[in-house]
């Protein structure tokens, strides 16, 4: 009996195409349940008058939610901030990931330790990271301020004096800059790993040849390394760009979009509106404003990933 059952299972698995279907099924079901259905719901919600008190999607209101959202003053602020944060993060990431991979591609004493330290932000729990950053950026007890005061940059007579604090999260420009810095800190390990993989696949002969041909560090970097890295830099940009643009955790844990709404970003505003304020349909509409950008970037990412696979 048992033998017969086992043979039956084997026959099922042996059938062409069956094994593939079986192995893909869990992933497909997972994505359909937790990504696909919520996505469809979000679209339906955005055209309805649903609230947390009355989460029915039957009240069809057309584009009213979108029109209303666009008219709110926070909309432009959040959109502009989202773009600034994403592009600011990417610009810094590109430079730092390239330099870091350049460092890690070389042999030096203590390399393993450096590697471990550089990967650490990726492994750190968000809550722990938030506590550290909130302390670093605290209005009264920031150790950064203390260092700046010791260096004579802050405090009476300092370059930015006589104030004794920067109030990082209390000023719009510094709040947005802080969000960018934290995003860079968080994404740098991923970006570096992507770029490093590309860096290590460049044949060593090219660097030896460049050295013999007389190229110094910068000429080698900009004329040999970066052109050869272009495909992976693009993948790194698209990949981390997606993650940063759609992320609300950094803002939620640090500035809360403040002061006021001045450091608001689209995903966090969608969350505040839809969940905290109970305006489900409005929140869905805000979130859907990210869809075109995310869609374009996702398609580009997949295309480049496939192209580099074929090459």
Partner 1 sequence: MAVLKIRDLKRHYGKVTAVDGVDLETQEGEMLAILGPSGSGKTTLMRMLAGLEQPSAGDITLDGRSVVGIPPRKRNVAMVFQSYALYPHMSVHENILFPLKSHKVPRAHWAEKVDWAVDTLGIRHLLERRPDRLSGGEKQRVALARALVRDPELFLFDEPLSALDAQVRNIARAELRDLHARTRITTLYVTHDQVEALGLGDRIAVMNGGRVRQLGTPEALYFDPADLFVASFIGNPPMNLLHRGETVLGIRAEHFVPREQAREPQTALTFRIRIDQLEFLGSEWLAYGFDEAGNDESRLVVRLPQSRGDQVRAGQVHEFLVARQHVKAFDAHTGQRRADTGLAETAHG
Which residues here bind partner 1, judged by CB under 8 A? Answer: 203, 205-206, 208-216, 219, 223-224, 227-228
Which is closer to partner 1, CB of 57 or CB of 202? 202
Cα-only R_g, the chain: 25
Q: What is the DSSP string of 203-245?
A: -HHHHHHHHHTT--HHHIIIIIIHHHHHHHHHHHHHHHHHHHH
Buried b (16+ CB within 10 A) or exposed e, 112-135: eeebeebeebeeeeeeebbeebee
Q: How far is the CB of 238 from partner 1 (least distance, A)?
A: 20
Long-range contacts: 272-276, Cβ < 8 Å, 24+? 275/52
Which is closer to partner 1, CB of 151 or CB of 206? 206
Which is closer to partner 1, CB of 160 or CB of 222? 222
For residue 238, the tally of other CB atoms under 10 A from its CB is 20
| Residue 48, strand partner residues | 60
Residue with tokens 């079986």: 22
Compute the distance between CA of residue 291 and CA of residue 42 in angstroms, rounded to an integer: 11
Q: How far is the CB of 231 from partner 1 (least distance, A)?
A: 11
Which is closer to partner 1, CB of 105 or CB of 210? 210
Q: How far is the CB of 208 from partner 1 (least distance, A)?
A: 5
Q: How far is the CB of 244 from partner 1 (least distance, A)?
A: 29
Q: How far is the CB of 214 from partner 1 (least distance, A)?
A: 4
Which is closer to partner 1, CB of 41 or CB of 228? 228
DSSP 50: -
Compute the distance between CA of residue 303 and CA of residue 104 in angstroms, rounded to an integer: 28
Q: How far is the CB of 205 from partner 1 (least distance, A)?
A: 4
For residue 281, the tally of other CB atoms under 10 A from its CB is 27
Q: Which two tokens stand for residue 184?
A: 């860079």
Q: How far is the CB of 93 from partner 1 (least distance, A)?
A: 23
Which is closer to partner 1, CB of 125 or CB of 214? 214
Q: From the centroid of its chain, how far is CA 16?
A: 40
Which is closer to partner 1, CB of 16 or CB of 203? 203
User: 265: alpha, beta or left, given left = phi > 0 and alpha = psi -120 to 50?
Assistant: beta
Q: How far is the CB of 91 from partner 1 (least distance, A)?
A: 23
Which is closer to partner 1, CB of 27 or CB of 217? 217
């Amino acid at each position: 009996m048992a033998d017969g059952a086992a043979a039956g299972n084997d026959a099922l698995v042996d059938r062409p195409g069956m094994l593939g279907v079986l192995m893909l099924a869990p992933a497909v079901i997972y994505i359909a349940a937790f990504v696909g259905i919520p996505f469809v719901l979000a679209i339906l919600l955005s055209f309805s008058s649903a609230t947390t008190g009355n989460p029915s999607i039957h009240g069809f209101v057309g584009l009213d939610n979108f029109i209303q959202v666009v008219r709110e003053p926070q909309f432009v602020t959040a959109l502009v901030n989202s773009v600034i944060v994403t592009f600011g993060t990417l610009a810094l990431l590109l430079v730092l990931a390239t330099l870091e991979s350049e460092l890690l591609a070389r042999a030096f004493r203590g390399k393993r330790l450096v590697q471990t330290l550089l990967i650490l932000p990726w492994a750190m729990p968000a809550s722990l990271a938030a506590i550290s950053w909130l302390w670093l950026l605290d209005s009264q007890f920031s150790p950064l301020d203390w260092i700046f005061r010791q260096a004579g940059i802050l405090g009476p007579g300092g370059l930015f004096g006589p104030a004794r604090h920067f109030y990082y999260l209390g000023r719009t420009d510094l709040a947005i800059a802080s969000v960018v810095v934290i995003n860079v800190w968080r994404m740098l390990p991923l970006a570096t790993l992507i770029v490093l993989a590309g860096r290590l696949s460049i044949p060593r002969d090219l660097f030896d040849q460049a050295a013999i041909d007389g190229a110094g560090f910068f000429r080698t970097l900009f004329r040999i390394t970066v052109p050869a890295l272009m495909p992976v830099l693009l993948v790194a940009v698209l990949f981390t760009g997606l993650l940063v643009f759609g992320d609300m955790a950094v803002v939620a844990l640090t500035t809360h979009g403040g002061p006021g709404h001045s450091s608001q970003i689209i995903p966090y505003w969608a969350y505040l509106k839809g969940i905290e304020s109970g305006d489900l349909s409005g929140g869905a509409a805000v979130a859907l404003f990210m869809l075109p950008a995310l869609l374009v970037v996702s398609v580009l990412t997949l295309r480049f990933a496939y192209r580099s696979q074929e090459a």
